[in-house]
Structures are given as structure tokens and as C-alpha cells.
């Protein structure tokens, strides 16, 4: 099975799963415009490779491994959308389809270069969040300087999520802050340095500020800034 096909399937399952909880065979077929029978076949093969969990008649869900690949593809897709919209100024209607084709072919190196050139955008032109890369860097400035000196950057081994995804009373450590130097400086002056334990106290509705606790200090932080503060994903049992 071609890599591109694998990626297309994982992406479709990712979308359906986040919308409906799981991806039904018929839904996948409709989404990818293929026959349901061939979907079943592909799902079996994806399941053998360990990318999805597949129960006949129940539909498929992504495994950790599958989610990782889908995440990367989504990131490439949305970065490309920003690039095609902001730099190439392509017609809005064509952006999605074009990105759909390009996402499978660009290398990781190109993905990084795109991210740097576009100043690490947080959202695609349609408003969906662009997840941060999985590099072992603490900030975009670091990635920038690494890009200039061709310094090899290690890959982060833990999954990271925006602090806004944390549930109240959960705790984790800051892994990465995306944003311009002034904001990063301000946050670190207030105690949000890398590796610091933080927890969420309150989220306000409709994308209002989040209240976080760091070093015994309570801070209210704008939602858009908080979305760019990434933390190590706490395991399911941890609080």
C-alpha cells in the first residue's frame, strides 16, 4: 500500500474520529470517495500495521502510532494552506485541494523551513489549530537559530499539548512556548520558564482567558497566548 494512501486514510479517520468519536467504514468511504469494500480491506491492513484499531461494524479509531502520523500530516497540510494563502496568494477555493496533494510529498526539512518562514503560525486560514512540531526545542527562536547554523535538533520524545487542553486541577511541565520574544520574555519574567510545573485553575467560556497557577502565583492569560504555551501531555492516570 502506498504511503500516500495510508496517510489519506489516517487523515480521514482522524477527522471523523474527532467529529464522531470513531470512523465508520461507510463514512470513510464517503469521505475518500471509494467503495466501502475497499475501505474494509485497507482498514484491515492498517490494523495489521498497528496504525488503527478496527472492529468490523464498529469502525476504526487511531492508535497512538496512527495519531502521530495523522498529526504530522495535518500540520503539513495546514502549514501549506497558510503558505498558499499568504505567500503564493492562491485562490481561496483551491487552497485546500492543493495542500491535500502537496502534504504527502514535502519532507520534514521543508516542513520546518515553511514553519520558520511563516513565523510559526498558530492557525490555518480556516481557523484550525496548527500543532507545534515535535522538535526538542524550547521556543521558536531556538528553532530559528538552529535553522541558520544547520544544528541538528533532537526529536521530542513526549507528546506536547497546549496548556488550554489541560483540564482544571491537572498539572504538567512547560515544554515549549510559541510566540514573539516580547511575550515569551514577559511570561518567563512571571515565572513561566521551561520545565516549570503549571496547572490550570479555570477556563472561561467562549475562548476567554485561562487562569493558571505557576510558582504559587495565579495568572490570567489571554486565550491566544495560552494556546501557544505547550506542556508535556500528562498521562491518563496522572493529575
Partner 1 sequence: MSGCGECKGCSTGGESKIKNADYTIALAGNANVGKSVIFNQLTGVDQIIGNWPGKTVERAEGLLLHKGKRIRVIDLPGIYSFSTYSMEELVSRDFIALEHPDAVINVIDASALERNLFFTIQLLELAPPLMIAVNQIDLAEKKGITIDNAKLSTLLGVPVVPTVAIRGKGIPALTDAITGLMQDHPVPPVLRYGKEVEERIGKIISLLDTVTTPYPVRWTAIKLLERDPAIVQLINGQAPGIAETAGSLAGEIESIHGEPVCVVMSAERYQIADRIAAEVITMRSPGEGPQKKSLNDKLDAVALHPVLGYLAIIAVIGGLLLWTFLIGAQVSAFLTSFLSQFEQYEPVVSGPLMDILWNGAFTGFIAGVTLVIPYVLPFYILLAVIEDSGYLTRISVMLDRGMHKLGLHGKAIIPLILGYGCNVPAIYSCRIMETPKQKTLAAFLVTLVPCTARTVVILGLVAAFVNIWWALALYAFDILLIIVAGRVAFKVMPGESVGLIMEMADYHIPSLSVVLKQTWARTKSLIWIVFPAYIIGSAVLQGFYAAGLLNPVNDLLAPVTVLWLGLPAIIGITLIFGIIRKELTILTLAVIFHTTNFATVLSPVQLIVLALVSMLYIPCISVILVLASEFGWKKALAISATEIVMAIAIGGIAFRVLGLWM
Tell the residue number behind the cell numbers 467529529, with chain if given: 19
* 170 binds partner 1, rule: CB under 8 A: no
Span of 28-36, 39-47, 90-98, 203-211 interacting with partner 1 by CB under 8 A: 203-211
| Residues 46/6, Cβ–Cβ less than 8 Å | yes
* From candidates 91, 169, 181, 239, binder to partner 1 by CB under 8 A: 181
Q: What is the C-alpha to C-alpha distance for residues 113 and 206, in angstroms, rounded to an integer?
A: 33
Nearest-approach distance from CB 187 to partner 1, in angstroms: 7
Nearest-approach distance from CB 210 to partner 1, in angstroms: 9
| Residues 98/89, Cβ–Cβ less than 8 Å | no
Residue 159 DSSP class: -
Give how far Cα 189 sits from Cα of 101, 163, 199, Å.
43, 18, 18
- Taking CB under 8 A as the criterion, which residues in 207-236 touch partner 1? 207-209, 211, 215-225
What is the pattern of x (binds partner 1, CB under 8 A) and - over residues 127-146? Answer: ----------xxx-xx--xx
107 vs 149 by CB, closer to partner 1: 149
| Cell numbers found for residue 53 | 484499531
Tell the residue number behind the cell numbers 514573539, with chain if given: 180
73 vs 184 by CB, closer to partner 1: 184
Q: For the beta carbon of residue 213, count every other beta carbon within 10 angstroms.
A: 16
24 vs 223 by CB, closer to partner 1: 223
What is the pattern of x (binds partner 1, CB under 8 A) and - over residues 150-169? Answer: -x------------------
**Residues 47/128/222/230 CA torsion (nearest 10 deg):** 30
What is the contact surface with partner 1 in residues (CB under 8 A)? 137-139, 141-142, 145-146, 149, 151, 181-191, 193-194, 196, 202, 204-209, 211, 215-225
Amino acid at each position: 500500500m502506498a504511503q500516500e494512501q495510508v496517510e489519506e486514510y489516517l487523515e480521514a479517520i482522524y477527522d471523523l474520529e474527532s467529529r464522531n468519536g470513531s470512523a465508520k467504514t461507510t463514512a470513510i468511504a464517503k469521505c475518500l470517495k471509494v467503495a466501502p469494500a475497499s475501505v474494509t480491506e485497507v482498514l484491515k491492513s492498517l490494523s495489521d500495521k498497528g496504525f488503527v484499531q478496527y472492529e468490523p461494524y464498529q469502525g476504526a479509531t487511531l492508535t497512538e502510532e496512527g495519531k502521530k502520523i495523522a498529526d504530522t500530516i495535518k500540520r503539513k497540510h495546514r502549514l501549506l494552506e497558510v503558505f498558499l494563502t499568504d505567500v503564493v496568494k492562491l485562490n481561496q477555493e483551491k487552497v485546500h485541494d492543493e495542500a491535500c496533494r502537496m502534504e504527502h510529498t514535502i519532507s520534514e526539512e521543508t516542513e520546518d523551513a515553511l514553519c520558520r518562514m511563516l513565523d510559526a503560525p498558530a492557525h490555518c486560514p480556516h481557523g484550525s489549530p496548527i500543532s507545534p512540531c515535535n522538535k526538542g526545542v524550547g521556543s521558536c527562536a531556538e528553532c530559528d537559530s538552529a535553522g541558520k547554523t544547520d544544528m541538528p535538533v533532537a526529536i521530542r520524545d513526549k507528546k506536547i499539548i497546549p496548556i488550554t487542553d489541560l483540564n482544571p486541577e491537572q498539572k504538567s511541565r512547560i515544554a515549549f512556548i510559541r510566540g514573539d520574544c516580547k511575550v515569551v520574555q514577559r511570561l518567563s519574567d512571571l515565572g513561566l520558564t521551561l520545565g516549570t510545573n503549571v496547572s490550570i485553575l479555570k477556563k472561561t467560556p467562549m475562548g476567554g482567558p485561562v487562569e493558571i497557577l505557576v510558582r504559587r502565583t495565579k495568572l490570567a492569560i489571554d486565550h491566544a497566548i495560552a494556546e501557544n504555551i505547550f506542556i508535556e501531555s500528562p498521562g491518563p492516570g496522572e493529575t
